[in-house]
A and B are shown apart, each in its own frame.
Chain A
Amino acid sequence: MGESYLGGIAIQIGINMILALSLYITFSTGQISLGHAGFMAIGGYAGAILTVQAGTSLTFAIVIAALLAGLFGLLVGWPALRLGGIFLAIATLGFGIIVMVFFQNFPYTSGSMGMQGMVGTSIPLVYLLLSAIVFLTWQLMRSSWGRSFEAVREDEIAAKTMGINVTVVKLTAFILGASLAGIAGALDAHYMYYIDSHNYTFGRSIEILLFLILGGSEVVWGPLLGALILTALPELLRFMADYRMVVYGLLMMAMMIVRPQGIIDRKMFHKRR
């Protein structure tokens, strides 16, 4: 605690970058998740219960948050394999809302009263984790796994017949994405000091999606840029706070017309032969 104003923003940027990457990994296999805040919630509450009620260290809490969120990633991702495109979007949307409603009512986590007392997130911690995650994700995408992810996204049928186990690929991406969201959730909870279900609404899931839509959904740097812009900008445009969501909505619509792949796309990195 006692973070400076800029320090707080730096932490939020860091956490949002992790969130953006978490969605990016899942999305890179073509699976759209409109309920990512749900995984974040699981990580957040799990971490909170561990540090506040069980008195464990934040590090331990983060690890457990990641594992638990990852487990749910498996539970959601497994049946989701059968769904494609729009059906998956709806299912994940439903999942996110179910999680939110659950925490709104679950007495153990004080329902709508929320949980409080979480501390420990600091700039070094966030950025240490972020750096590690960026490195791992970047390496992942520049590997045979990354190419498999892309192949599955572009053409699942062709990917299958080229020997790619689509089930494993999609599940892996889902679980990884969920775990990362869980980590971000734990970090976020221990920065916010207080959380309740309103922290994890459908709007939150859309905000995360917007990081990808604006910044870019094709390469690792896109989500990072999106998170940076969309976290820093509202602070700069404080006077427009009421209309922030209007701007977000218009941004989404505009990007879909003009440049759906986001600001940073793959072509930027394509070497001229």
Chain B
Amino acid sequence: MTILQQCINGLMLGSTYSLLAIGYTLVFGVLQMLNLAHGEVYMIAAFFAWAMVTMMKLPFFAAFIIASLIASLSGLLIELLCFRLVNKDYPLASLLSTIGLGIVLQNFALVFSKGEMVRFPSAFHDFNINIGGLAISGVHVLILSIGIALMLSLQVLIFKTNIGKALRAVAENRVVAGMFGLNVNFIVGVTFVISSGLAGVAGVLTAMAYHSITPFMGVEMGLKGLTVIVLGGMGSLTGAMIGGLMLGLGEVLAMGYLPMCLIGYKDAIAFIMLIMVLLIKPSGLMGRSQEVKV
């Protein structure tokens, strides 16, 4: 595989990381809290899509749409159970609650799949595009395009529409936004719908690209997404997008060029980077540091 090929793979992988990271960062930006069940939404969407394709014999496109919708709706459920109903006096209660939900979802999937890898059937006959001697998998390009299209749409939504403005207002200062008449609960709900929807899309796309899903893919992805947003700046959309692509690239290249003995430590590398960023500049590349008011 040439380096350019690897770069395309890296970008494709990265675009799924970005989609997930964006969801994380959206919720963090608006609520200053992390939804650690995010990775599990990604995983559940993949499983739903699988079930629809194999058991209900639905066409891939339909499965994709429906699974993503289910993911979006689950976002509302998460908002209700882990954020709205939770006792706000207790620090990090929501965070812990989402960890709990993640555990529940993961274990349902575990029981369902009996711990084995589940094979996701091929969406299309693998066709390759040949450009100047390079063979690029058509599926990968499709996924990269969908990913980028969604990210751009989100940019438009956030920065060019009224609802996007409302979202940014709530993210800036929830109390004041409420005082200005914005329906904060509605906005929070929308945030979760978008966030979880993106996770769902990422999940189905990954399943289609790599043909296999496991109950553990959520945890892995979730933690990677975390690394991305810490790197890119928690609350920064651009940071999430660029960070995701960078991590994808970095991982693929590392896999290709790291000496054998270090391969196992690959996972630790992401976390070491995460910790270093937290120590040096917790606000990440793009975030703003916050001063505590007395």
Interfacial residues, chain A to chain B (CB-CB below 8 A): 30, 32, 79, 82-83, 85-87, 89-91, 93-95, 97-98, 101-102, 104-105, 111, 157, 202-203, 206, 209, 213, 242-243, 245-246, 248-253, 256-261
Contact = CB atoms under 8 A, between A and B. Distances in A.
A84 B89 CA distance: 17
Given A90-B230, A248-B100, A95 B275 contact: yes
Contacts, number: 125
A94 B104 contact: no
A252 B97 contact: yes
A257 B92 CA distance: 12
A94 B107 contact: no
A257 B87 contact: yes
A98 B86 CA distance: 31
Contact of A260 (B87, B226, B275): B87
Contacts of A253: 81-82, 97, 100-101, 104
B100 A98 contact: no
A95 B226 CA distance: 14
Interface stretch (B7-15, B241-249, B263-271): B263-271
A257 B97 contact: yes
A260 B94 CA distance: 10
Nearest to A203: B103
Nearest to B223: A97
B226 A98 contact: no
B282 A83 contact: yes
A94 B106 CA distance: 20
B96 interface: yes
A97 B100 contact: no
B190 interface: no
Contacts of B89: 260
A252 B99 CA distance: 8
B37 to A, nearest CB: 9
Contacts of B104: 245-246, 249-250, 253
Given A86-B34, A157-B294, A256 B103 contact: no
B91, B93, B271 pick with most chain A CB within 10 angstroms: B271
Interface residues of B, number: 46
Nearest to B103: A249
Interface in B35-93: 81-82, 85-87, 89-93
Given A30-B91, A97-B267, A256-B100, 14 more contacts: A86-B33, A89-B95, A91-B274, A91-B278, A95-B275, A206-B99, A242-B107, A249-B100, A249-B101, A249-B104, A251-B100, A252-B97, A256-B82, A257-B87
A252 B87 CA distance: 12
Interface of B: 32-34, 81-82, 85-87, 89-97, 99-108, 110-111, 219, 223, 226, 230, 264-265, 267-268, 271-272, 274-275, 278-279, 282, 292, 294
A73 B219 CA distance: 26
Contacts of B272: 94, 98
B111 A97 contact: no
B103 A248 contact: yes
A153 B246 CA distance: 37
B92 A89 contact: yes
A98 B87 CA distance: 32
Contacts of B219: 202
Nearest to B85: A257
A206 B96 CA distance: 9
11 contacts: A32-B91, A32-B92, A82-B282, A86-B32, A90-B226, A101-B271, A157-B294, A206-B99, A252-B96, A253-B82, A253-B101
Contacts of B34: 86, 90
B222 to A, nearest CB: 10
Contacts of B271: 94-95, 97-98, 101
B230 A86 contact: no
A250 B100 contact: yes
A102 B265 contact: yes
Given A91-B278, A209-B96, A261 B108 contact: no
Contacts of B107: 242-243, 245-246, 249
A156 B95 CA distance: 21
Contacts of A82: 279, 282
Contacts of A104: 264
